[in-house]
Each structure stands twice: as C-alpha cells, then as structure tokens.
Amino acid sequence: MRKLLLLSLAVVLGLANLAFAADDTVKIGVFLPLTGQNAFGGQLELEGVQMANKEAPTILGKKVELFVVDNKSDKVEAANAVQRLIEKEKVQAIIGTYGSSLAMAGGEVSEKAHIPQVGTSCTNPLVTQGKKYIFRVCFIDPYQGAGAATYAFKTLGLKKAAMLVDVASDYSVGLAKYFERSFTKLGGQMVGTLNYQSGDQDFTAQLTKIISEKPDVLFIPSYFAEGAIIMKQAAELGATFKIMGGDAMDNPKITDIGGKAVEGFTHTTFPYDPSMKNMSAMAKKFTDDWRAAYPGKEPNVNSALGYDAYMIILDAIKRAGKADPEAITKALAETKAFEGVTGKTAINATHDAEKPVGLVVIKDGKKVYEGEIVPEL
Amino acid sequence: MNLATFIQNILNSLTLGSLYALVAIGYTMVYGILRLINFAHSEIFMLGAYFVFWGITLVHLPWPVAMVLAILVTASLGVLVDQVAYRPLRDAPRISALISSIGVSFFLQNVAIVFFQAIPREVYRPAWLEDPILVHGVRVLPLTLFVPLLSLVLMLLLVYIVYRTKTGLGMRAISKDIETSYLMGVPVNRVIAVTFGIGSALAAASGIMWALRYPQLQPIMGTIPGFKAFIAAVFGGIGSIQGAVIGGLTLGFIEIMTVAFFPDLAGYRDAFAFVLLILVLMVKPTGLLGERPEDKV
C-alpha cells in the first residue's frame, strides 16, 4: 500500500513536472531555406528572426524557444521540416518561409496539424488561399498594383492611366488587375491596356498606340528583362508620361541598361530599405541593432520581414493571453495594427498583410527610396 | 489613328521587318546550299552581339573596328561549328545534322549562361544612333533608315557571291547534288566552310543590329528572333535570298499592324501572325519565291 502510494505520488509529481516544463516555454518553429538556391534570402530572414528573439526573449513571463530547421530550398524538405517541428519539437507556432512554393508545401502540413504558420516573404496569393492557419507578414503581389495606382492618382495627381501587361505571367496580370481596380475606384480613367508576352523585344506597336491615347502614367508590371527596353523604346517614340512598375523591376542594372530613359521611373517594393529617409522609430532601431549585431552586413527587407514574423506571433500570444495554437491563430487573424519594421500591419480576411507599399524612384541615375503609401484597394 | 501615328507604325514595321530579314538571309543561305536548317544560327547571332560590345567595353576598340572584328570572330566560330558538329555528319541522313544543330544551339546557349551570366547587360550605342530624328511629329530612328539599307546591301552582295563568283558556282552545284559536285572536282568542304563563314557573319551582323535596336544583351536573346526569322525565311520561300527579305518585311508589318489595328490582340500577335502565314503557305506551299527550285542558291 505504501509502495503504491509512493508510486502514485511519483507519477503525479512527474506529470506535474512535465506539465510545468511544457508551460514554462513557448516553442516557435522556424523553417527557412538555409542551403540551396534560396539560401541567401533564407539566411537573412533567419538572422532577422534570431535578432527579434534576442530582443524579445520572453512572452507572458515564459521563455521563447526557437527551433530552426533548414528546408533546403526544396518542397519535399519543406513539408518534412514542418512535420518535424510539429511532431518532434511540438511547437505552438511556425515562422516560414522565403519562397512561395516552399511555404505552400509546408503550409499543407501546418494546416492539417492546426498549427499557425506565419510566412515571411512568400508573396504568391495561393499561399494563404483557403487556409485557416496560414498567415504572412508580407503583402501579396497584386497589392502592389493598388499601391502604384494610389500613388499615381493621389500623390502625383495623374488622372489617365495606360498599362502594358505581360499576358504570360501571373505576376504581371495580377498587378495590372489591382492597379486598374484601384485607379478607376479612385476616380481615374484607364485609356488603354495593351498586352505582350514574356520574351518579346519589340514593343513599338503597343507603345505607339499607348502614346496616341495620351495617358498621364503608364503602368508596366513587367519583369526586368522586358521592363528596361520597354522604357527605352518609349523614350525613342517620344513618350513623356510617367512610367511605373512593380518590385520585379528592382534590379541594380536598371540604370545601366535604361540610361536616360529610366529617369523618373517609379516602382513599388516592400516598405523597408536601410537607405530610406524618414524611418519609423522601429525601423531605425532595427537598422541600428542589426548593424551592431552583424557588423559589415547590411540589413535588407528580408531580415526585416523575419523580424516582423517573430514579433507578430508574440503580439498575438500577448493578446490571446496564452500560447495555445488555436488561441494564437485566432489572435493572428484579428491583428489590426501591429507596428512592425516594415510598417503598420493589419492581417486581412485572406490572412495577408496589409501595410504601406514602399516606393523607389530613379533620380539622377540612382535608386532613391521615396517613401511609403497605403494602397486603396 | 491619325496620319502621324500611322506613319510611325509603318516605320516601326520597317525597322522590325528589316531586322527579321537580316536574320532570315543567313538562315536561308545555309539552307539553300546544304538543305540544313541551322538552329545554332540564333546562338551565333547572340554571340556576335556579345563580341562587339566586349570589344568596346573591355578592349576599348572604336566602334567600326569592334564591329568588323566581332563579325570576323563570329564567322570563324561558324566555320568551327561546321567542322566539329556538321562535317562528320556530311554523309549521314539530313536529319542527323539537323539534330546536331539543335545540340549546338543548346550547347552555345548554356555556355553563354555560364560564362556571361543570365542577367541582362547594357549595350553602348554610338550617339548618332541614340536620338531619333523628328519629322512632322513622326520619330525616325537612325536605325530605321540604316537597317533596311544594310539588309539590301547584304542581299545584293550575297546574290553577287552566289551567282557571279567561282565559290558561288560551287555553292550552287552543291545545292543541286553534293555527290556529283565531289566527282566534278568542287572542293566541297571548303565551299561549305565558306558558306558557314558567310552565314555566321550575317548572323553576327544581324545580332549587332538587333542589339543596337533593343539595347540589352542576354544569352537567350537569339531564340525569339531566330524563330521569327526562320518563319520569315519559310514564308518567303526557304533558300531564296530575296524571299527571305520579303518574308522578313512581311512578318514585321503583320506583327506591328496587328497591334496597331487590333490592339486587343496585342498579347496574341504571334499567334495571329503565324495563322496568317500558315494560310499563305497552304495556298503556296513553297513560300512566296520558292516556286522554282532551280533558282535556289
């Protein structure tokens, strides 16, 4: 009898101890491409997450423990990585990843296991589509289209817009659709939308038509290979309107190839850049802390998104009052005004971040971070 | 569409069409003599463009020198390709050489991706080519005048070589019957080497013109112009030099005018252009000028 009593006491104590251990820490899994073709972006994002963890190591009085798994830039590995985080490490939330296809592969696993997952820089609309547990801190591709339209109409006061769209690219078509929707909703007029296909090099026919419609602004949601020579040909044909594009035009070669023709070109991007003027206090602190932590290595938007992904989960846990996956999911979905390095973020109905869109202008042959704008959808 | 826009469209067509014509001449010449569709033409085209701009940026050669040098280097490369990839297959069925040319095309393109990297590079244009001339609201690019002229000159030069020189006689003999040419004492391999040299020089010239018009270098830059020029050559009657020029110009006009008159079809202008070409070929299967086989070079 005594033996039995002792045994049951031991069991009870043991259980209590276990329960205490589980309650003592918050476990957050991180799956990012640390090797393979996306390693560059994945590494920067991981450093952002780790820096956030160093700055905010506890939540609700509990220690936050990070479990990092490399998804090797591979879809199968991404699914395995998430599986491992959930089953072996028993994480309550997951951060990841760079790369939309990796995020989708990992997301399937998180969704089934009912563990919330916050994407860093996966911008394809499909990542969160129809998912209850998948979120992201970046905006989706089409959102930039609305950002460009808002900037053109409200900031620059341009009333007539034309578009030159790559019909063979989802990215281009998506941006164009949202540009048009936002621009017409704001009261602007679309005077012409012309198409081309990836790989085309002659745009003179389309541009001649567009020039004859006399738009104030031309939106070209193209990739870099076409974008620079489109602008070059537009200049040759005597175009004087403003030209705008999306983040795919963000390439250091743009001024080399485009020369005078790209002067004044404005493209949207994520709202963080270490060279930006008028940084928010948060962004400034992030930049300074980063430079102190990683001397000789500049922070970029990926590291900022990694940082924000961690912080938004902590914000959700704080509002939920507990670190239970279901509670975190609910709180994440209700995020309205999270102050991040990449701007004030709200999570919308499709679980995508709504935040200001950054703008870069080519001035005197140099890229200048102009500021942010809140898109009107 | 007002008059100025219409004329602008005509000029755009002329520029694009004459570029296609220039590429097509090279295609058609090699085909006319060897009955070989040299798919590596697109890559020779690309290399020619890279060579000239390296000559300018790396070695700081003056413009005309870099151009001539690049054309010579590319021509030698064409001869080398023939020696390595086609000569051993001279007696093999024709399809083997065709497959070999596809292999050369992929090989050169991938070598270019490895060594030049896939990132687009800038092209330096001489100042006199940079700025359009404004005539009554129509903007005329210097290249718009220069390229058709160059196509015409090269066409006449080629016709001269083929019909008025001894090597040209050899070429015509080979195009009729390669075995009999051997027996008649035609230095077949030398004549074929010259053919490839000239064909590659034409590819380089057209690549350079293309890069001047669309100032951006990429390893894949030859693929689309190559396809278009091939189709132009078939349309004009493959093997016919004059046909290639007419085919190229026609294709350029169809592409630009499709967009000009039916802007909604702009994204599908290739499909539209090719359907039209197929219809023409259904009526005239040998192409516009391909009816008399004895005239083929």
Which of the residue ranges A18-22, A347-351, B134-138 has the most confident prediction, judged by mean pLDDT? A347-351
Whether chain A has a CB inside 8 Å of the CB on B81: the answer is no
> What pLDDT, on the 0 to 100 scale, is given for residue B241?
87
Find the mean pLDDT for residues A159-169.
92
Lowest mean pLDDT among A258-267, B9-18, B153-162, B286-295: B286-295
- Mean pLDDT, range B117-145, rounded to an integer: 82
pLDDT greater than 70 at residue A266: yes
For B216, the closest of A208, A238, A257 (CB atoms) is A257
Interface test with B, best of A165, A208, A236 (most B CBs within 10 A): A208
The radius of gyration computed from the CA coordinates of chain B, to the nearest angstrom, equals 19
Whether residue A20 has pLDDT greater than 80: no
Range of the domain at A93: 2-139+282-341
What rounded mean pLDDT belongs to chain A?
89
Which residues of A lie inside 8 Å of B (Cβ-Cβ)?
165, 167-168, 192, 194-197, 199-202, 204-206, 208-209, 211-212, 224-225, 228-229, 232-233, 236-238, 251, 253, 256-257, 259
Which pLDDT does position A18 carry in this prediction?
47
CA distance A83 to chain B (A): 36
> Is the same domain home to A101 and A159?
no
**What residue in A sits closest to B221 (Cα-Cα)?**
A199
User: B8 and A196 in contact by Cβ < 8 A?
Assistant: no
| pLDDT at residue B269, as a whole number | 84
CB contact under 8 A, B121 and A165: no
Contact B120 A224 (CB under 8 A): yes
Please give the distance of CA B242 from its chain centroid, rounded to a whole number. Answer: 13
**Residue A264 Cα, gap to closest chain B Cα (Å):** 19
Confidence of residue B3 (pLDDT cuts 50, 70, 90): confident
**In a shared domain, residues A51 and A123:** yes
Domain ranges of chain B: 3-295
pLDDT score at A17 = 47
Residues A331-359 have a mean pLDDT of 93
Partner-chain residue, chosen from B5, B120, B259, that has the shortest CB–CB distance to A206? B259
Percent of chain B with pLDDT over 70: 98
Nearest CB among B2, B255, B270 relative to A205 is that of B255
B62 touching A (Cβ < 8 Å): no
Q: Is 80 exceeded by the pLDDT of residue B119?
A: no
Ramachandran region of residue A60, left (φ > 0), alpha (ψ -120 to 50) or beta? left
CA A204 remoteness from chain centre: 34
At A204 the pLDDT is: 92
Nearest CA among B163, B154, B149 for reference residue B32: B163
Q: Provide the percentage of residues in chain A whose pLDDT is more than 70.
A: 94
Pair A125, A149 in one domain: no
d(CA A193, CA A283): 38
pLDDT at residue B92 is higher than 90: no
Is the pLDDT at A11 greater than 60, yes or no? no
Minimum CA–CA partner of B268 in chain A? A196
pTM: 0.79
For residue B121, the distance in angstroms to the closest alpha carbon of chain A comes to 7
Per DSSP, the three-state class of B140 is: strand
For residue A229, list chain B residues with Cβ-Cβ distance below 8 A: 214-216
pLDDT number for residue A16: 47
Residues linked to residue B133 through DSSP beta bridges, in sequence order: B140
For residue A314, the number of C-alpha atoms closer than 13 Å in the C-beta half-sphere is 25
* C-alpha separations of A376 from A181, A191, A221 in Å: 10, 20, 18
Model confidence at A15: pLDDT above 70? no
Q: What is the 3-state secondary structure (H, E, C) of chain A?
A: CHHHHHHHHHHHHHHHHHHHHHHHEEEEEEEECCCCCCHHHHHHHHHHHHHHHHHCCEECCEEEEEEEEECCCCHHHHHHHHHHHHHCCCCCEEECCCCHHHHHHHHHHHHHHCCCEEECCCCCHHHCCCCCCEEECCCCHHHHHHHHHHHHHHHCCCCEEEEEEECCCHHHHHHHHHHHHHHHHHCCEEEEEEEECCCCCCCHHHHHHHHHCCCCEEEECCCHHHHHHHHHHHHHCCCCCEEEECHHHCCCCHHHHHHHHHCCCEEEECCCCCCCCCCCHHHHHHHHHHHHHCCCCCCCHHHHHHHHHHHHHHHHHHHHCCCCHHHHHHHHHCCCCEEECCEEEEECCCCCEECCEEEEEEECCEEEEEEEECCCC
What pLDDT was estimated at residue A25? 92
A324 and A212 inside one domain:
no
Assess whether pLDDT exceeds 80 at residue A21: no
Q: How far is A246 from chain B (nearest CA, A)?
A: 18
Max CA separation in chain B (angstroms): 63
C-alpha–C-alpha distance, residues A138 and A16, integer Å: 41
Contacts of B225 in chain A (CB under 8 A): 201
Topology of the domain covering B3-295: ABC transporter involved in vitamin B12 uptake, BtuC (1.10.3470)
Most A CBs within 10 Å, among B1, B6, B8, to test the A interface: B8
Q: Answer yes or no: is pLDDT of A228 > 50.
A: yes
User: Picking from B42-46, B133-137, B178-182, which range would have the lowest pLDDT averaged per residue?
Assistant: B133-137
Same domain for A133 and A6, yes or no, is yes
Asked if residue A276 belongs to a domain, the reply is no
End-to-end CA distance of chain B: 42
Q: Is A179's pLDDT higher than 90?
A: yes
Sequence-separated contacts (24+) of A328-337 with Cβ below 8 Å:
A328/A92, A328/A93, A328/A116, A329/A114, A329/A116, A329/A132, A329/A133, A332/A116, A332/A118, A332/A135, A333/A135
The total of structural domains in chain A comes to 2
Which residues from chain B sit within 8 angstroms of residue A209, using beta carbons? 5, 259-260, 263, 266
Same domain, A169 and A127: no
**Does B121 sit within 8 Å of A253, measured CB to CB?**
yes
CATH of the domain at A188: 3.40.50.2300
Whole-angstrom distance, CA of residue A263 vs CA of residue A234: 12
Q: Number of A:B CB contacts under 8 A?
A: 97
Q: Name the residue among A116, A121, A147, A145 with its Cα closest to residue A131.
A: A116
What pLDDT score was predicted for residue B131?
A: 79
The lowest-confidence range among A112-116, A265-269, A290-294, B142-146 is B142-146
Cis peptide upstream of residue A97 (ω within 30 degrees of 0): yes
Average pLDDT over residues A59-69: 94
> In this complex, which of B220, B260, B267 lies closest to A167 when CB atoms are compared?
B267
Q: Stretch B135-162: mean pLDDT, rounded?
A: 86
Cβ proximity of B16 and A233 under 8 Å:
no
Chain A neighbors of B139, CB-CB under 8 A: 236-238
Q: Tell me the nearest-neighbour CA distance from B96 into chain A, angstroms.
A: 29
The reply to whether B200 touches chain A by the CB within 8 Å rule is no
B122, B259, B267 member nearest A209 (Cβ):
B259
- pLDDT value at residue B125: 82
Contact B215 A167 (CB under 8 A): no
Q: Does B113 touch chain A (CB under 8 A)?
A: no
Instruction: Compute chain A's Rg from CA coordinates.
Output: 24
Residue A153 and residue A155: Cα distance in Å, rounded?
Answer: 6
What's the rounded mean pLDDT across residues A276-295? Answer: 90
Q: What is the mean pLDDT of residues B213-240?
A: 89
Q: What local confidence, expressed as pLDDT, does residue B220 receive?
A: 87
Q: Do A201 and B2 touch (CB under 8 A)?
A: no
For residue A229, give the nearest of B15, B216, B268 by CB distance.
B216
Note whether A134 and A110 are within 8 A (CB): yes
pLDDT of residue A138 exceeding 80: yes
CA A158 to chain centre: 28
Say yes or no: A170 and A60 in one domain.
no
- For range B262-274, the mean pLDDT: 83
Shared domain check, A166 and A218: yes
Encode pLDDT of A107-117 as tens digits: 999 999 999 99
Nearest CA in chain A to B263: A194
A154 & A116 share domain:
no
**Residue B139 DSSP SS3:** strand
pLDDT above 70 for B295: no
| Within-domain flag for A347 | no
Chain A residues within an 8 Å CB radius of B123: 257
- Confidence (pLDDT) at A19: 45
Point out the residue among B218, B263, B269 whose CB comes nearest to the CB of A225.
B218
DSSP B93: -
Q: Verify that A239 and A169 share a domain, yes or no.
A: yes
Q: Do A135 and A6 belong together in one domain?
A: yes
Which segment of A9-13, B11-15, B18-22, B51-55 scores lowest on mean pLDDT?
Answer: A9-13
Interface of B with A in 128-157 (CB under 8 A): 132, 134, 139, 141
Please report residues of B whose CB lies closer than 8 A to that of A228.
Answer: 120, 216
